Copies of this chain bind each other. A is one copy, B any other.
């Protein structure tokens, strides 16, 4: 809702760590260098989501990660590079989620429900990372913006493809495919802005509602 207050995000959610950790399961404890890098990323994700990129100091990130201010620079060349790494990993995870959901669905209707519901749920569960991904984009340097834009175009493409497939099969009745895709993505993305944990709506209920609304929006009107 418009009136939802953005509460300070609680530190070090398992969800954030989950979305940042490397692909394969850790064999034992993991190397200390890589572990520290992840701890810095989690700390930065917390701080950026709570205060925004520009209002976050490197000292704040360092102390949340249990390091001295200089310790961050052993693992990341600058605050901007740290933002880019968070943004890149966040986009990758979100894209993989969408691609898998679209691939596994039986028909365009179920595909649309799965991708919009899933994307909405992702922005709730990973609302810290989601905020960074969606709202701190402008603080990336030009070449990092370009790399992120490539990933965004992939995400847009998945949604547009599902809509086009539904129109082709006759399940959907959509005049403006790209405009409708834009509106659907907006509902999911905006979840990251208003969601905060511990409120009435859960990621699961958001997934259900938003998946259903997406299907309602595009279905052929039998009347």
Contact call A209/B139, Cβ cutoff below 8 A? no
Residue numbers in B under 8 Å from A137 (CB-CB): 6
Bound state CA distance, A181 and B155, in angstroms?
Answer: 25
- 25 CB < 8 A contacts A-B: A1-B185, A2-B152, A2-B156, A3-B149, A3-B152, A3-B156, A5-B145, A5-B149, A54-B55, A55-B139, A135-B193, A176-B209, A179-B209, A183-B187, A183-B213, A186-B186, A186-B190, A186-B191, A213-B217, A216-B216, A216-B217, A217-B217, A219-B221, A221-B222, A222-B223
Residue numbers in B under 8 Å from A76 (CB-CB): none
Contact call B209/A52, Cβ cutoff below 8 A? no
Contact call B52/A213, Cβ cutoff below 8 A? no
> Which interface residue of A135, A139, A153, A183 has the most chain B CB atoms within 10 A?
A183
* Interface size class of chain A, counting residues whose CB lies under 8 Å from the partner chain: 35 or more
Q: Is the interface of A mostly helix, strand, loop or mixed?
A: helix
CB distance from A43 to the nearest CB of B (A): 18
A-side interface residues toward B, CB under 8 Å? 1-3, 5-6, 51-55, 134-135, 137-139, 145, 149, 152-153, 155-156, 176, 178-183, 185-187, 189-191, 193-194, 201, 209-210, 213, 216-217, 219, 221-223
Q: A187-B183, A193-B134 are known contacts. Are A1 and B51 too (CB-CB below 8 A)?
A: no
- Contact partner, A223, options B52, B179, B223, Cβ 8 Å: B223
